[in-house]
């Protein structure tokens, strides 16, 4: 189906993806998802419009066309959450396309995403998070691998890093400084304090690692010396959580949720936690910490210029 898409539409998609990578710092995984989402939309519009998919036909997309596409996606079993993500990608593409070619993509931008129940993250209890870190090294007969896994999981929980951010560290980052400069989603940079426990865990790993840790090479390595894959950490945590009787939600990302929630419970400021996590909006941080609306409004009122005026 995608073979029917015009060269002009393909070139426009490539240009938009380049824009997202260069200016918005989109990751390769994000770019692949964007490409698949927009290609699916373009393929549908090619068929829907009778075989034309040039830029002129895209400028004429109507709200009825958008509803037809969404109905088609739901009809083939696409979940509401996935469709909402695809619609977001299509809107972003059309914003760029409209600005570049001088037309208003009003119909596309006015299309409403389907409603879906947002799943709140489930952080681990503090004792469960500590038990996870204590038990992870027992899953490997090789001491250096156990030390590696402890170091990664400690960075997730102790510094609130995403798994991709932890695995993105280089040999030159060790020994860890008091503060790490992390480049996260959307190319946003943030400064993250490093707890002594995280520093000690990384030091223990680097002392045992049999592979040479060059300054520009990955800090965390697989058995054969290549870059450590996130799936390996997910697997060791899966084994550990079954051993501890923890729920299936005890994943690498749950350690980051736990960092945020436990910090808030200890009296941390929501705005500060937002900065530490690298979130663009406070509402995302609210979901991470499962903070109630009253607490969110309290923070908003204290931070809003009108409240101080």
Higher pLDDT, 278 or 57: 57
Residue with tokens 């060790």: 174
CATH 1.10.150 fits 2-110, yes or no: yes
Domain boundaries, given as residue ranges, for the chain: 2-110, 126-265
Residue with tokens 């027992």: 138
Which residues are catalytic, by number?
Answer: 162, 185, 253, 256, 279, 288
Per residue in 64-105, pLDDT tens? 999 999 999 999 988 888 898 899 999 999 999 999 999 999
Residue with tokens 């480049």: 183
> If pLDDT is split at 50, 70 and 90, which confidence band does 141 have?
confident
C-alpha 123/C-alpha 107 separation (Å) is 40
Q: Does 2-110 match 126-265 in CATH topology? A: no
Q: Which tokens is 202 given? A: 């990384």
Nearest CA among 13, 104, 109, 82 for reference residue 53 = 13
Look at 64-78, 171-185, 270-284 and tell me which has the smallest mean pLDDT.
270-284
Average pLDDT of the segment spanning 201-223: 95
Predicted local distance difference test score (pLDDT) of residue 218: 95
- CATH code that applies to domain 126-265: 1.10.443.10
C-alpha 292/C-alpha 270 separation (Å) is 11
Please give the mean pLDDT across all residues of the chain: 84
């Amino acid at each position: 189906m995608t073979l029917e898409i015009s060269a002009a539409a393909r070139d426009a998609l490539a240009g938009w993806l380049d824009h997202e990578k260069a200016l918005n710092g989109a990751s390769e995984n994000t770019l692949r998802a964007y490409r698949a989402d927009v290609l699916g939309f373009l393929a549908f519009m090619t068929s829907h419009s009778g075989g034309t998919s040039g830029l002129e036909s895209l400028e004429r997309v109507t709200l009825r066309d958008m509803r037809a596409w969404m109905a088609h996606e739901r009809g083939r079993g696409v979940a509401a959450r996935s469709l909402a993500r695809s619609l977001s990608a299509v809107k972003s593409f059309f914003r760029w396309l409209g600005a570049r070619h001088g037309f208003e993509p009003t119909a596309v931008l006015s299309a409403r995403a389907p409603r879906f129940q947002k799943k709140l993250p489930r952080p681990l209890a503090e004792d469960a998070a500590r038990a996870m870190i204590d038990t992870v090294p027992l899953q490997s007969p090789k001491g250096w691998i156990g030390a590696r896994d402890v170091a990664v999981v400690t960075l997730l929980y102790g510094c609130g890093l995403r798994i991709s951010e932890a695995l993105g560290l280089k040999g030159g980052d060790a020994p860890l400084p008091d503060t790490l400069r992390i480049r996260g989603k959307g190319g946003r940079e943030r400064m993250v304090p490093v707890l002594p426990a995280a520093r000690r865990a990384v030091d223990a790993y680097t002392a045992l690692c049999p592979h040479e840790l060059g300054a520009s090479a990955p800090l965390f390595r697989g058995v054969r010396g290549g870059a450590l894959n996130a799936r390996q950490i997910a697997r060791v945590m899966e084994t550990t959580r079954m051993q501890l009787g923890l729920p299936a939600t005890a994943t690498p990302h749950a350690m980051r949720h736990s960092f945020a929630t436990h910090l808030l419970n200890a009296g941390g400021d929501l705005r500060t936690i937002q900065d530490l996590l690298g979130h663009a909006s406070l509402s995302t941080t609210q979901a991470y910490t499962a903070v109630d609306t009253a607490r969110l409004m309290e923070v908003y009122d204290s931070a809003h210029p009108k409240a101080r005026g």
